[in-house]
Amino acid sequence: MDFLTLLQVLDTTIRLATPLLLACLAGLFSERAGIFDIGLEGKMLASAFLTAAVAAVTGSVLIGTAAGIGAALMLSGIHGLASITFRGNQLISGVAINFLAAGLTVVIAQSWFGQGGRTPQLSGSARFETIDLPLAGEMRGDIPFIGPIYAELISGHSLLVYIGLLAVPVTWWVLFRTRFGLRLRAVGENPAAVDTAGISVVGLRFAAVAICGLLTGLAGAYLSTGLQAGFVKDMTAGRGYIALAALIFAKWRPWYALGACLLFGFLQALALRPDVIESTLGFEVGVQLLDALPYILTVVILAGFVGRAIPPRAGGEPYVKER
Amino acid sequence: MTDHTPAIELKGISKAFGPVQANKDISIRVMPGTIHGIIGENGAGKSTLMSILYGFYKADAGEIFINGRPTQIPDSQAAIRAGIGMVFQHFKLVQNFTVLENVVLGAEEGAMLRPSLAKARRQLKQLAAEYELNIDPDARIEDIGVGMQQRVEILKALYRQADILILDEPTGVLTPAEADHLFRILKGLRDQGKTIILITHKLREIMEITDTVSVMRRGEMTATVQTAETSPPELAELMVGRKVLLQVEKAPATPGRTILEVENLTVIDSKGVERLRGIGLEIRAGEILGLAGVAGNGQSELLEVLGGYRKAEGRIRLNGEEIDLTGRKSDARTRRARGIAHVPEDRHHEGLILDFTAWENVAFGYHDKPEFNKGIFMDNAAIKADAAAKMERFDVRPPNPNLAAKNFSGGNQQKIVVAREIERNPDLLLIGQPTRGVDIGAIEFIHEQIVALRDMGKAVLLVSVELDEIMSLSDRIAVMFDGQIMGERLPSETDERELGLLMAGITDTDKPHSEAEIEANLAKKRASAAKEA
Amino acid sequence: MQKMPQWADVVLIPLISLILAALLSALVILAIGENPWAALKLMVEGSLGSTYAWGYTLYYTTNFIFTGLAVAIAIHARLFNIGGEGQAMLGGLGVALIALFIPWPHWSLALLGGAVGAALFGAAWALIPAWLQAKRGSHIVITTIMFNFIAAALLNYLLIGALKPSGSMEPATGRFPEATHLPTFQDMFSTAETALFRGAPVNVSFFVALLACVAVWALIWRTRLGYEIRAFGQSESAAKYAGISPTRIIVVTMLMSGGLAGMMAINNVMGEAERLVLNAVEGAGFIGIAVALMGRSHPFGVLLAALLFGFLYQGGAELALWTSIPRELIVVIQALVILFTGALDNMVRMPLEAMFLRLRPAPKPARKTEPAE
């Protein structure tokens, strides 16, 4: 594999890692607050659809994204209602949300656009344009090695990619340097401590679930307007679950989440380039194996063979007051 | 006090949970700068009342006055604003946070964390100096002992400038020496003008530290008296509603052959901490061995090993025959078959399946016995008949085997467990915290059953954190500390002071020991445990 | 305290949840500009109006009984098996291998062999998540989800590779031999004069599914193993105290669960397609979750809920055929059922409980009971 091919694969890695990263950080906020969320997939899907649909109709990707975030927030609201207000089973709620999104997006898309459950192809201002960072053109040729890296790898992505990357330090800072973060972590470890300290457990958890909705909304918007040009049925294709896997892989920590999502993004990028693998390794690797690799890796990690992942202590348990 | 406005006044507080009336028309006045005790049996409604005062539950009726002003306390925030702090029986701390972070949680200065933490650090230093509440602010909660954790809870309240401090059964997890230290802190707080409410079921503590005491029974407040003007027998009678024998009547033991021999038993838990370090003991037929100690010093692990559901190293012989401790036969089923019955410490999480019916619970652990089975199917009719008979003999109320276990009171639940285990005619009975959360009527009944079993020539291992229970039931007493047996005594030749020293890990009990020495010993144990982990 | 009578818990709550789900679905149909009443009539006509329609409804029901029982049995051990989809896929593989590579003399023996193969393969696919849960504490929900994806990749790999007959372009196995074809209801119930269930895929496996219901019921409520599974599901710590091995219960329960999910393949692969195609399971593994929740994890409830979903599935297919309502509406209804009967259970339950408490006569003071802890 030559340098330029490597750059291309890495460039694809970043683009494929972005929806994973946004969804992973979304899950991080939710699960750090003690709300398990296997509904990341559904929220991304709902947002991907509504973003594309509204962008197609209005011609504005920003209005579309706002609508997509709205859709994800709605589903977050349902998850919050079920798992916080009515203390239901968070896993079951997540499963329901995934199906709800999978079904509703197609039903609505069909009735809205009549194109077999997809939105029209997006173009122009209905998509996120790539952003060329300053001096990218100049540096590409002028400075060896660093220049191409800057121009190919770092520059030339859409806004949401940079937002995703920026979300990592922001998440870290919010969690570990602010009052909100302290309370958020506390409510995921021991909600009774938060409650007896006079803070609303319900309020905090809803806030966390809302942030989760916002970030999955961005992830979905990127899928249908950044990565691809329009919505197609089931376009998340398990990314919500891979993000969940990345979250476990990352042990619920923001910087590790970046690493895990880049790794899984890299695997996905490789799966798109079987020729590269073959020329590098010297033998053919089944695409199916590469597809399955993130899941297999996650199982290996879950099995605790590569360091143990300890989830937030109160995760998955609805909070019931007791003395 | 010159001031005659009560710090707290409750008028006509009532609270029902469904059809259960937890508090009935309760009125109480607590004067500022006093320690006020609230005593009552389990389920009398003490904790409910205090939870209402702390805004954890909402009363169905009644009024609350703080310093004479009518006050609404809809939530804990309001209670904190009204100057009330509460130390719950189960601490409300975030295990992987530091002491400082726990203290600050909910009382931060602004949106940023650093200034809040800096301020709290300064304040803690001051509070420590003022009230003997020394603690490392950067230690993680999971690394410090329960005594220290309790201090964090008290500091949390003081940091929020509480004038009224409520403590719910605070000594349950402490050694006698730690309890003495706590009481000294509380007296110091009182002398600074703070008002303290102490909830307990221990008469001794009421007599030792309170100024006034209120007695609760079945959700009602039966009396409020000056502590100096009452006596333990009087309080006990007020609690139960009849005269109570504070002593168990039993004839001297006549120990026979050795039933159980334990040698050099060692347990290392999943975190690598040594929970049992070379335990050795022996119990004979017709003898009750009482195992005293503060909770968390290895008693639970010992019961689990003997009961067959924790692996260990060492040797155990029952009736002279070796018991498998690690192999395929080291499970609870096999132990039962060998004649070991076990009333576990925690009936809610071990002894019973709360959602199962009483009859299903009566077969629990013995469900593979031939008399309960017909071929591959279980013989439910036979189990029901057996359950009905056992429940009648043990006077379980209501005597309905079809009722779910969760619908019985604590005492009746415990009777179901004790009936199931004792009626199997075991050679050895393991019984942990037999009377925790049990009313006095059931306590007397269960104690009689234990003594009767002994008199039938069976061996009994009694584990309890209640020294009174150990002293009155045991024929011999062994004391556990830090996974070891610190010594054995005869009840007639020892006293609470000596057992208290052993519980703190001090074996040369003849010599006088300062509190500092005892604390140093406890700290040493925790340091070594933390290092292992 | 029992807060409300048992019939309310067993009948009323699922019924109200179902009505809520139906109302919301009607709203969705309304919102996309169709008439819900007409849609319902079409669904009833298309799924119950003829023996042909029943033939499809019962075919789907058979699938859902298997996957519903699979989820239900795991729920009794408090294990949430989301892996029914993958286990059913592997079951299909098991059936295909057995049908293709063993010469069967008669369909009855083939059915037996197919059932065993399907169950074994399904169980094997559940074994690793079960073992990881029991021994390493890996969350079974996550691992079973991962195994669904891995199963999909594996089948994909086999069906475009080793199992595809040479010369074929389609990702599927070759057709199973004649002797393994199961009798359909048409074969069984048609007389010379009247052809019943003509062309419908429902087949003898429906009776196997009914047998499975009875077997699971007896297992859960009448055997020692069932007692131990339920005890473990209620309290792991108590189970250990009683000498019930958590590892054994987790592994055995998941093997049975995976086996049941896998056995679905005798219906859809052996009974209907008569070869193994890609995506043969068509989400039935996930519908099993809704079926189990709706049926309160009771085999009889599962049977009823499976019938309901069989009706929805066939009715939904008819809708897609005759109106502009896409088939995915079924997924929406399925989601709503899971949401209301599973996650929002308390939303329905709490007001009902309050109502029953108010209706209850005040406790008599003479029979004073102590407050339960």
Please report residues of B whose CB lies closer than 8 A to that of A186: 94, 97, 105
In whole angstroms, what is the distance from residue A47 CA to residue C351 CA?
33
Please report residues of A whose CB lies closer than 8 A to that of B93: 190, 193
Query: Residue C372 above 50 pLDDT?
Result: no
State whether residue A313 sits within 8 Å of chain B by CB.
yes
Backbone torsions φ then ψ of B310, nearest 5 degrees: -150, 135
Min mean pLDDT across A102-106, B268-272, B346-350, B478-482 is at B268-272
Please report residues of C whose CB lies closer than 8 A to that of B307: 241
Exposed, middle or buried: residue B128 (CB in 10 Å: 0-12, 13-18, 19+)? middle
Exposed, middle or buried: residue B277 (CB in 10 Å: 0-12, 13-18, 19+)? middle
In whole angstroms, what is the distance from residue C344 CA to residue B198 CA?
41
State whether residue A186 sits within 8 Å of chain B by CB.
yes
Query: Residue C368 above 50 pLDDT?
Result: no
Question: Are residues A81 and A27 in contact, defined by beta-carbon separation less than 8 angstroms?
Answer: no
Per-residue pLDDT of chain A (323 residues; tens, 9 = 90+): 688 888 899 999 999 999 999 999 999 999 999 999 999 999 999 999 999 999 999 999 999 999 999 999 999 999 999 999 999 999 999 999 999 999 999 999 998 998 888 999 998 889 988 888 887 777 777 787 888 888 888 888 999 999 999 999 999 999 999 999 999 999 999 999 999 999 999 999 999 999 999 999 999 999 999 999 999 999 998 899 999 989 988 889 999 999 999 999 998 898 888 788 878 877 777 778 888 888 888 888 778 765 666 788 888 888 987 65
pLDDT at B530: 59
In whole angstroms, what is the distance from residue B104 CA to residue B439 CA?
39
Could you tell me whether strands B340-343 and A130-131 are parallel, antiparallel, or unpaired per DSSP bridges?
unpaired
Q: Read off the pLDDT of each residue in B224-234 and give the average, rounded to a whole number.
A: 92
Identify the bridge partners of residue B340 per DSSP, sorted by sequence position.
B428
DSSP for A148-216 reads HIIIIIISSEEHHHHHHHHHHHHHHHHHHHBHHHHHHHHHHH-HHHHHHTT--HHHHHHHHHHHHHHHH
| Closest approach of C104 to chain A, Cα-based (Å) | 33
Domain ranges of chain B: 8-240, 248-339+427-532, 347-425
- Give the chain C residue whose CA is nearest to the CA of A295: C146
Contact A88 C346 (CB under 8 A): yes
Query: Residue B146 above 80 pLDDT?
Result: yes
Kind and range of the H or E run holding B526 = helix B515-532
**Dihedral sign from CA coordinates of B256, B257, B260, B265:** positive
In whole angstroms, what is the distance from residue C141 CA to residue C147 CA?
10
Residue A270, CA distances (Å) to A3, A208, A299, C193 in order: 15, 34, 20, 62
Query: What kind of architecture, by CATH, is found in domain B248-339+427-532?
Result: 3-Layer(aba) Sandwich (3.40)
Question: Are residues C75 and C301 in contact, defined by beta-carbon separation less than 8 angstroms?
Answer: no
What chains are in contact with C, requiring at least 3 Cβ pairs below 8 Å? Answer: A, B
| Per-residue model confidence as pLDDT tens digits over B383-412 | 999 999 999 999 998 999 999 999 898 899
| Percent of chain B residues topping a pLDDT of 70 | 97
- Distance of alpha carbon C18 from the chain centroid: 17
Average pLDDT of the residues of chain B: 90
pLDDT at C366: 39
Contact B105 A198 (CB under 8 A): no
In whole angstroms, what is the distance from residue A297 CA to residue A286 CA?
16
In whole angstroms, what is the distance from residue C15 CA to residue A306 CA?
47
Exposed, middle or buried: residue A144 (CB in 10 Å: 0-12, 13-18, 19+)? exposed
Residue C58, CA distances (Å) to B67, B304, C199, C281, C311 in order: 72, 51, 13, 16, 8
What is the ipTM score, two decimals? 0.92
Reading the block at residue B28, the tokens are 């109480």
Query: Residue B163 above 90 pLDDT?
Result: yes
> ∠A49-A52-A56 over CA atoms, to 5°?
140
pLDDT at B1: 44
Reading the block at residue A78, the tokens are 């349902």
Please report residues of C whose CB lies closer than 8 A to that of A303: 132, 136, 138
Which of C262, C216, C282 has its CA nearest to residue C60?
C282
- Specify the pTM: 0.90
Reading the block at residue C199, the tokens are 């062309």
Domain ranges of chain A: 3-237
Output DSSP code: residue C134. I
Q: Read off the pLDDT of each residue in B243-267 and give the average, rounded to a whole number.
A: 87
Query: Residue B419 above 90 pLDDT?
Result: yes
State whether residue C156 sits within 8 Å of chain A by CB.
yes
Same-fold call for B8-240 versus B248-339+427-532: yes
State whether residue A82 sits within 8 Å of chain C by CB.
yes
Please report residues of C whose CB lies closer than 8 A to that of B377: 218, 222-223
Query: What kind of architecture, by CATH, is found in domain B8-240?
Result: 3-Layer(aba) Sandwich (3.40)
Reading the block at residue B323, the tokens are 């018991």
| Per-residue model confidence as pLDDT tens digits over C32-53 | 888 999 999 999 999 999 999 9
* Closest Cβ–Cβ partner in A176, A182, A189 for B96: A189
Reading the block at residue B394, the tokens are 């043990």
* Closest Cβ–Cβ partner in B80, B112, B168 for A177: B112
pLDDT at B409: 86
Please report residues of C whose CB lies closer than 8 A to that of A86: 343-347, 350
Query: Residue B108 above 50 pLDDT?
Result: yes
Contact C243 B355 (CB under 8 A): no
Q: What is the band of C1 on the pLDDT scale with cuts at 50, 70, 90? A: very low
In whole angstroms, what is the distance from residue B264 CA to residue B278 CA?
4
Per-window interface: A 269-308 vs B, CB < 8 A: none
Could you tell me whether strands B428-432 and B274-284 are parallel, antiparallel, or unpaired per DSSP bridges?
unpaired
Q: Read off the pLDDT of each residue in B253-259 and give the average, rounded to a whole number.
A: 92
| Per-residue model confidence as pLDDT tens digits over C144-173 | 999 999 999 999 999 988 888 888 888 999
pLDDT at C364: 45
Kind and range of the H or E run holding B84 = strand B84-87
Set out the domains of chain C in order of their start, with CATH numbers: 58-307 (1.10.3470)
Which of B455, B448, B443, B390 has its CA nearest to residue B417?
B390
Which of A48, A22, A13 has its CA nearest to residue A236?
A48
Q: Read off the pLDDT of each residue in B242-247 and give the average, rounded to a whole number.
A: 70
- Give the chain A residue whose CA is nearest to the CA of C149: A292
Question: Are residues C51 and C184 in contact, defined by beta-carbon separation less than 8 angstroms?
Answer: no
> ∠A117-A122-A128 over CA atoms, to 5°?
125
Output DSSP code: residue B370. G
Query: Residue C359 above 70 pLDDT?
Result: yes
| Per-residue model confidence as pLDDT tens digits over B271-310 | 788 999 999 999 999 999 999 998 889 999 999 999 999 9
Region at B452 (left for phi over 0; alpha for psi -120 to 50; beta for the rest): alpha
State whether residue A174 sits within 8 Å of chain B by CB.
no
Backbone torsions φ then ψ of C4, nearest 5 degrees: -155, 160
